[in-house]
Amino acid sequence: MLAIVYAIFLTKFNLQGILLIATLPLIVMNSLIGKSSLIMLAVLILYFFLFDKKLVSPQKKIYIAIVPTVLIVVGSIFFWNKIETTGAYRNTVYFLKNTDFKEFKFKDMSTGHRIFEGQRVLEEFGKSNTYIKIFGNGFGATIDLSDTKDVAVQASNNDLTNVRHIHIGFFAVLYRYGLIGLLVYFLFIRKMIKSCSYVLKRSDNYAIVLGALYVIIIIFDSFITFPHMMSNIMFWLIVFVILHESERFKRVSVLSKSDYKY
């Protein structure tokens, strides 16, 4: 997704930029593998259109809004068969066909399984003693999901009575680390959102800006697919970079205010 945004918004009009843009269809086809990826890509695009004031000029935003839109429409007409084969398209269509938003009912297996996981976590939480409720079942804790209807989960786990992965972040943290873990999880999210926002307002380095945006979208992705955050080494490396940059900007701001006083 970051590669798509970089190619659209940050490439310069030179040979390297043209070659990168030429590879954009291939990048898109191999990057958008699920409905959540479409949402995250939309968030990134909206950020650069609505909030970025340093990296992309207003003229380029107008150009991007017109030219790529035309190319996308034309490309969609000629390559619709290819688009239909992407995971993002198939998963999104499947989700929409099997969801009743009025009744708030989800019939697709993926969403249904996540809801089932949450129900099982709450059941186990209700039966647990005070210590487990506060501190959780531990990092390597497994949960019994033998009643799941998700065929993908059934096929990928040899023992459904001992499943490690819990998708929704809230329930994953509650089950493994208890109420203390939930507090740390929410404090971490709060800290990172504030740090990323601070960096986005002050940095004119495209790599740092993309890093901050990456941290934000992975955090939100963790709400529905927690392992994507916890097992993502690049995410944690970028977290430390963003924290460092945020503190650096704060120190510079303090020094600037001190110099102004004198």
Domain boundaries, the chain: 1-97, 108-179
Length of the chain: 262
Which range (39-48, 188-197, 205-214) has the least confidence? 39-48
Average pLDDT over residues 231-246: 95
Band of pLDDT at residue 60, cut at 50, 70 and 90: confident
How high is the pLDDT of residue 219?
94
Q: Please tell me the predicted confidence (pLDDT) of residue 26.
A: 67
pTM recorded for the entire structure = 0.81
Q: How far apart are CA 225 and CA 237, in angstroms?
A: 19
Task: Determine the pLDDT at residue 244.
Answer: 95
pLDDT score at 189: 96
* pLDDT tens figures, 6-16: 777 877 766 66
Whether the predicted pLDDT of 156 surpasses 80: yes
What's the pLDDT score for residue 20? 67
Half-sphere exposure for 66 (CA within 13 Å, toward CB): 5
pLDDT tens digits for range 77-97: 776 777 667 666 677 776 767
**Which pLDDT score is estimated for 42?**
83
- Give the pLDDT of residue 25: 66
Where is pLDDT greater, at 11 or 200? 200
DSSP state letters, 97-162: HTEETTTTEE-SHHHHHHHHHHHHHHHHHHHS-HHHHHH-S-TT--B--TT---HHHHHH-S-TTS
Q: How far is CA 38 from CA 8, 77, 89, 137, 195, in A?
A: 15, 19, 9, 34, 25
- Where do runs of H (alpha helix) occur along the chain? 2-5, 15-22, 24-31, 35-50, 58-78, 80-83, 87-97, 109-127, 130-135, 151-156, 169-202, 206-222, 227-230, 233-261
Greater confidence (67 vs 175) lies with 175
Q: What burial class does residue 74 get, using C-beta atoms within 10 Å of its C-beta: 0-12 exposed, 13-18 middle, 19+ buried?
A: exposed
pLDDT for the residue 194: 95
CA–CA distance, 35 with 86 (Å, rounded to integer):
10
Query: How far, in Å, CA of 125 to CA of 136, rounded?
Result: 9
Question: What percentage of residues in the chain have a pLDDT greater than 70?
Answer: 78
Task: Match 């740090």 to its residue by tokens.
Answer: 195
Banded pLDDT at 172 (limits 50, 70, 90) = very high
21 contacts: CB under 8 Å, gap ≥ 6: 7, 11
**Residue 262 pLDDT exceeds 60:** no
- What is residue 35's predicted lDDT score, i.e. its pLDDT? 65
Which residue, chain included where needed, has tokens 């809801």? 115
Give the pLDDT score at 65.
79
Who contacts 155 (Cβ-Cβ below 8 Å, separation ≥6)? none
User: Using CA atoms, how far apart are residues 21 and 66, in angstroms rounded to an integer?
Assistant: 16
How much is the pLDDT for 57?
87
Average pLDDT of span 11-26: 68
| Per-residue exposure over 44-70, b if at least 16 CB sit within 10 Å of its own CB, e if not | bbebbeeebeeebeeeeeeebeeebee
d(CA 138, CA 132): 9
Residue 169: exposure state from Cβ atoms within 10 A (0-12, 13-18, ≥19): buried
Mean pLDDT over 215-233 rounds to: 91
The mean predicted confidence, pLDDT, of the chain is 83
